[in-house]
Amino acid sequence: MHHHLVQVSDTGPDTIPIIDSGDTLRALIGSEADLVLGGHRHRPWMWNVQNLPLPHAGSVSSERLRGFFHNSFNLVEVERGQSETESRRR
């Protein structure tokens, strides 16, 4: 997803939320989604809601960083149906 389902800490007011994000989150949990990737806030963050990982990417090349002073990216490793996400500084 380009936007986020859960507010990302230290990024200011949430002026562009996903409409009905709670319903979307409930549907993803109910359908047993394994992972939901998000971005847009230029801040790496990780939520885990009812065993559903919601990693939020930072920004690999932007100068508009929020709450994190380095560009970063997420490395997602998937093995045998399990995923692990790690935020790395660029």
Residues 6+ apart with CB under 8 A from 26: none
The whole-model pTM stands at 0.80
The span from the CA of 64 to the CA of 41, in Å, is 9
Evaluate if residue 76 carries a pLDDT over 80.
Answer: yes
pLDDT at 69: 64
pLDDT at 66: 62
The full set of domains in the chain, from first to last, is 21-89 (3.60.21.10)
Evaluate if residue 30 carries a pLDDT over 80.
Answer: yes
